[in-house]
Chains A and B, each alone.
Chain A
Amino acid sequence: MKYPEIDKYAELDSLIHRFDPRAKIITFTILIFSFVFIEDIRIAFVSLLFSSFILLVSRIPFGFIFDRMKPGLIFVMPFLIVMPFALDGNVLYSYNGISISYDGLYYGSLVVIRAATSIMLTLIMLGTTKMDTTMKSLHSLKVPSPFVQTLMFSYRYIFVFIDEFFSMWTSMKAKGFKVKANKHSLSIIGNLVGMILVRSYERAERVYHSMASKGYTGESRTIVKFKMQTADYGLAAILIGTVLIFIIYGMSLS
């Protein structure tokens, strides 16, 4: 079974992999929030190049990251398509009353570049740490427990749901079901999704019983063994320092 594992390359060894997971979360969060507020497209583009450089250092295959960036990019791509037509400003090209504005193209591109940068950085952050370590880091960073537990169980059970979905899908195909663009197919797929929801509900109840049997009372207790090294402080300082340079340079341009 091919699972959408985000931490498939978390076992590699690189500067980014060795970065203390808590420091990594904080530093990358600062990087992401700083880059999404960049107003100048040139600096935004440099920030995208800088993120690609971090990706190169992390040794995670580009293809792996780009594959996972696609859904996010498809979501923001309409901005690039719609904004040049919708936004007023310097007209680049006009035909039969439909005009493409420079400002629209500028801001549309800016949105896409910012999104690409932040998605890439998020994927590098998650891809260079094993998911359980990321959860433990969030826990030790005092992120509210219900949030961490929700994330943890979502990640744990997504694979179980994928297995359940495909076993039902295989069973449907074994009974001659073929997806067609008609009402019948839609209703069958609707039933399948409904069935997964019902099964999830039932499983949630069984998982809760199992947790209660092991003394769960709402608090998630876990063993965390992290230790910040000088190198972690150094890398955090370099990355945040670079961001500061981008911001200061951006401010000098405006």
Chain B
Amino acid sequence: MKTAISITDLNYSYPDGTKALDNVNIEIEQGEKIVIMGPNGAGKTTLFLHLNGVIRAEQDNVKIFGNNIGSMKTEDRIREVGVVFAEPDDQLFMSTVYDDIAFGPLNMGLSEEEVDRRVKKALATVGLEGFEDKVPHHMSFGQKKKAALAAVLSMEPRVLVLDEPTANLDPKSRADLIRVINDLNKNHGITTVIAMHDINALSELADRVYVLNRSIVAEGPTRDIFSDHVLVKENNLDAPDIFKFFKIMKCFGGDCDQTPMSIDESVKELTQAIEALEGKMSLHIHESTHEMVNDVISSYRH
């Protein structure tokens, strides 16, 4: 498997001298789903601007598929990494949806026929067929989010970076967007790197998690990260509700092999655990149950 993103000792300070990134090291394989979590102001957006070469690292320490992103030609770098920022109004800057989605491909120097094909394909991927002539101020927030994603997908990047893709979306739009991102990863082999605070969507969107707080504080599978409640608290994070619920259930004697991170996982884990107990799981209260429950709750409470 190829290394898609390799960042070594990346440092960045804002013009006023404030350190935004401090010795950041990240290694992501092709086809992986990565979530980057961290408190507000942790440097996620600054990191993303390094990933597609908008901010050029002083040394050649950001490599995409082995090539230094800073020294790539504009057409090549936008072919490699596409960044979808958090606020869709910042990304839909043209007068119509069509022009916005065609913007990247036109800058890549593609023919009009190819641009047209890509615009239609990108719109179909996000489920916005027929929106070509729509103007952004006539669209809902969810539609604008999808259009902003389409405007990046039309460049057909190998790495897709998304900043808070599920923020402020209604549950249906959120589910749609998660489905699209997963489809791109699973069926098109696109490596996805996502910054988000939506912990309940985490298990669907992450193979691994990086915790960024100016520097990389921790890295690992989602379950390992959220099992470390000190790490979670210190970085203003929270564990998914279902994860905490099963931790509490364990205090009542309802133990599973692995603490599930999502509803789907919980069905699987519960079934396995109950089957192992010959079809019956009994929960009970013993003298230290309440103390254990309080410990679990307080370990994750801010």
Q: Which positions in A face B, CB cutoff 8 Å? A: 3, 130-132, 135, 152-153, 155-157, 159-160, 163, 203, 206-207, 209-217, 221-223
Asked if B192 is at the interface (CB within 8 A of a chain A CB), the reply is no
Q: Are A160 and B89 in contact (CB under 8 A)?
A: yes
**B residues near A132, Cβ cutoff 8 Å:** 94-96, 99, 135
Q: What are 8 A-B pairs with beta-carbon distances under 8 A?
A: A131-B135, A206-B87, A210-B83, A210-B90, A213-B49, A213-B54, A216-B107, A223-B102
Q: Are the CB atoms of A211 and B93 closer together than 8 Å?
A: yes
Contacts A221-B106, A222-B99, A223-B106 given; indicate if A215 touches B75 (C-beta within 8 A).
yes
Which of these, B54, B93, B96, B135, contacts A153 with CB under 8 Å? B93
B-side residues, CB < 8 A to A, are 49, 52, 54, 74-75, 77-78, 82-83, 85, 87, 89-91, 93-96, 99, 102-104, 106-108, 112, 115-116, 133, 135-137, 151-152, 155
Residue of A nearest to B108 (CB): A215
* Chain B at the A interface: SS class: helix
Expressed in whole angstroms, the Cα–Cα distance for A244 and B94 within the complex equals: 38
**Which residue from A156, A163, A212 sits with its C-beta under 8 Å from B94?**
A156
Contacts of A131 in B (CB 8 A): 95, 135
In the complex with contacts A131-B95, A214-B151, A215-B75, A206-B90 CB distance below 8 A: yes
CA A206 to CA B46, docked complex, whole Å: 11
Tell me how far the C-beta of A21 lies from the nearest C-beta in chain B, rounded to whole angstroms: 13
B85 neighbours in A (Cβ, 8 Å): 206, 209-210, 213
Cα A119 to Cα B94 with chains together (Å): 26
Q: B95, A135: Cβ atoms under 8 Å? A: yes
Report the separation of the CA atoms of residues A207 and B54 in the bound assembly, to the nearest whole angstrom: 12
A214:B103 contact, CB within 8 angstroms: yes
Q: How far is the CA of A222 from the CA of B75 in the complex (A)?
A: 16
For the complex formed, measure the closest distance between the CB of B105 and the CB atoms of chain A, giving whole angstroms: 9
**A213 contact set on B, CB distance < 8 A:** 49, 52, 54, 78, 82-83, 85, 152
B73–chain A nearest beta-carbon distance, Å: 10
Instruction: Provide the bound-state CA to CA distance between A210 and B137, in Å.
Output: 18
| Cα–Cα distance between A220 and B137 once the two chains are bound (Å) | 21
Contact B91 A210 (CB under 8 A): yes
**Which B residues touch A222, using CB under 8 A?**
99, 102, 106
Q: Find out whether the CB atom of B95 lies under 8 angstroms from the CB atom of A155.
A: yes
Chain A residues contacting B112 (CB-CB under 8 Å) are 223
Partner of A209, one of B54, B116, B151: B54
Measured CB to CB, the nearest residue on chain A to B101 is A214
Taking a contact as CB atoms under 8 Å apart, the answer to whether B94 and A215 are in contact is: no
Q: Are A159 and B83 in contact (CB under 8 A)?
A: no
User: Looking across the interface, which residue of chain B has its beta carbon closest to that of A211?
Assistant: B93
Q: How far is the CA of A215 from the CA of B82 in the complex (A)?
A: 10
CB distance from A214 to the nearest CB of B (A): 4
The interface residues of chain B lying within 8 Å CB-to-CB of A159 are 136-137
Q: Which residues of B contact A152 (CB under 8 A)?
A: 94-95
Chain B residues with Cβ under 8 A from A216's Cβ?
A: 103, 107
In the bound complex, do residue A215 and residue B104 qualify as a contact, i.e. CB atoms below 8 Å apart? Answer: yes
Contact of B78 among A130, A135, A206, A215 (CB under 8 A): A215
Given contacts A213-B83, A214-B104, contact A207 B78 (CB under 8 A): no
Interface centre among A153, A207, A215 (most CB of B within 10 A): A215
Tell me the bound Cα distance from A132 to B106 in angstroms.
Answer: 17
Report whether B115 and A223 are in contact in the complex, using a CB–CB cutoff of 8 Å: yes
- Contacts known (A152-B95, A215-B78); A221 close to B49, Cβ less than 8 A: no
Report the Cα distance A156→B92, complex, angstroms: 9
Minimum C-beta distance from B111 to chain A (A): 10
Q: Are A212 and B95 in contact (CB under 8 A)?
A: no
Q: A131-B95, A132-B95, A156-B95 are in contact. Are A217 and B74 (CB under 8 A)?
A: yes
| Chain B residues whose C-beta falls within 8 Å of the C-beta of A203 in the assembled complex | 89-90
Residue in A closest to B136 when the chains form the complex, CB atoms: A156
Smallest CB gap from A202: residue in B: B90
CB distance from A139 to the nearest CB of B (A): 11
Closest to A222 in B: B99
